Amino acid sequence: MSYSTVPEIALRSPKGEFVNEPFVNFAEAANARSMREALAHVATHLGREYDLIIGGHREKTTGKITSINPARPSQIVGVHQKAGAEHSQDAMDSALRAFHSWSRVPVEVRASLLLRAAEIIRERKFEFSAWLTYEVGKNWAEADADTAETIDFLEFYAREALRLAKSTTPIQLPGEYNRLLYIPLGVGAVIPPWNFPFAIMAGMTAASIVTGNTVILKPSSDSPTIAARFMEVLEEAGMPAGVVNFCPGSGATFGNAIVEHPKTRFIAFTGSKPVGLDIHERAAKTQPGQIWIKRTVLEMGGKDSILVCADADVDDAANGVVAAAFGFSGQKCSACSRAIIEAPIYDAFVEKVRERVEKLTVGDPVENHNMGPVVNEGAMRSILEYIAKGKEEGRLVSGGAAVETESGGYFIQPTVIADVDPDAVISQEEIFGPVLALIKVESYEEGLAVANNTEFGLTGAIYTADRARLDHAAAEFHVGNLYLNRKCTGAMVGAHPFGGFNMSGTDSKAGGPDYLLLFTQAKSVAEKLSNIDKAADSKGI
């Protein structure tokens, strides 16, 4: 890639201040019709084969990754090439060549690429949401939220990159011209999850490239098709070859090879705690020829609690708990997996939760049920094992079994287990499925101690009418994203910078004003002014 190819990206300026992309109201007939049409259109494109893209070149491999519809496992969404360790050097070489020129491209051009990509996705948002419905089982609202957040990340990071480029030193030393430059790091590995396969994948990729880095993108094997469609968007928007290299593959082979490569400068990862810690350990080991300390940007999940005090609006709290626990079948790192309830309202609250959960429908997300499938057969088995354990540790209130369907999809009933001990297995381990543990406490103080008793610290919420308790929780409820009198899911770009404490990760704060700093390094430049410079400056030249 030469700099001469870059002007193909038409310069765009952000349109006003950042505003979150509005969600689609599917209660409106026109929107529901558009979604059905998009689903029908995407259905005709299922099963296509996608190539590796390394340095702009398409490649096929002997090994394949087959992405299936978890609601209908016999339905193939996409067939992908499987990058192995043998592809890691080619991917790195391509990214390094691209970095040499992309890192020197003006930030206005890089931001324009993101803004154009946002335009393309906005124009086709129903189509992208339909792909999410087929590939990972999101119902219409969950898919739309994922697509909207993708647009938000692109728009927000474009603006943030422009803002960062205008950074200055706190003071100008007399007789000097002082500058503070945030320069790119180099080649990064982007390893996104399957549960937000559009927004998180695109967000980590966009943050990397808008700051001048180049990327080796290894999407989850459960959701590579969404990433392939995003690659098409970037290419349509004018991205030069090699800036993003699309390499689905096994984490144990290709993924580890990229993480350990001496030329890898950073790894952006979202996923499970065991994988995140393994990446962190591998990245920490210096390889022959490595001249830097690799940076890891890790988000690794949670065991999130909602504390419901006796003075809370019980109906509002029950609505929030059920929405946070069972949205996208509980497959969110921010999902409420534990509701901690003060004793005076415990029995009434359990009943209100039961009533709401039993109204939830489970089925094919194409038909827009409240809950679709879990992502794959392995996840289904693991969740059912936790449910079996939960039945031993507490009292089954609702659900507790798989849902049999003719399609053979991976469906599980929304499950509520009451009277759970704070130290029980289902109180401590991340289940990542539609399982809610209910815990009784005698006081707010005990409830807060329970909320803080896990190794995680991602999201949490409290419902109370007591101002003093809200203020106390803001200081002492130890999570990266705390919500007062609202559910603990649904972080919005710009308003709720997202990232957690402890074993939830490096508190990266995606969608916030600090995020792009993780993909840059600060360079201080001080120039002694000559007498000519001083004279010109005094004349305002």
DSSP string over 33-72: HHHHHHHHHHHTTTTEEE-EEETTEEE--SSEEEEEETTE
The Cα–Cα gap between 160 and 132 comes to 27
The Cα–Cα gap between 165 and 182 comes to 7
Q: Coil, helix or strand for 338?
A: strand
Joined together, the tokens standing for residue 501 give 């404490």
CA-to-CA dists, residue 328 to 40, 133, 432, 456, angstroms: 22, 11, 10, 21
Annotated active-site residue 160? The verdict is: no
**Amino acid symbol at 490:** G
Q: What are phi and psi of 103, to 5 degrees?
A: -65, -20
- Chain CA centroid to CA 263, Å: 25
The Cα–Cα gap between 268 and 189 comes to 6
Annotated active-site residue 336? The verdict is: no
Q: Coil, helix or strand for 78?
A: strand
Asked whether the beta carbons of 343 and 378 are under 8 A apart, the reply is: no
**Amino acid symbol at 377:** E
Look-up of token digits 């390394």: 54
Pairing of strands 459-463, 481-484: parallel
**Amino acid symbol at 467:** R
- Chain CA centroid to CA 486, Å: 21
Joined together, the tokens standing for residue 379 give 């996840």
Catalytic residue among 21, 142, 149, 299, which? 299
DSSP type of residue 277: H
The Cα–Cα gap between 483 and 462 comes to 7
What separation, in Å, do the N-terminal and C-terminal C-alpha atoms of the chain show? Answer: 38
Q: Coil, helix or strand for 518?
A: helix
Joined together, the tokens standing for residue 193 give 């999850």
Look-up of token digits 């992405």: 67
Asked whether the beta carbons of 430 and 337 are under 8 A apart, the reply is: yes
Give alpha helix (H) positions in 290-329.
314-326
Catalytic residue among 333, 336, 342, 430, which? 333
Quickly count helices (H) and strands (E) in the chain.
16, 23
| Active site positions, annotated | 299, 333
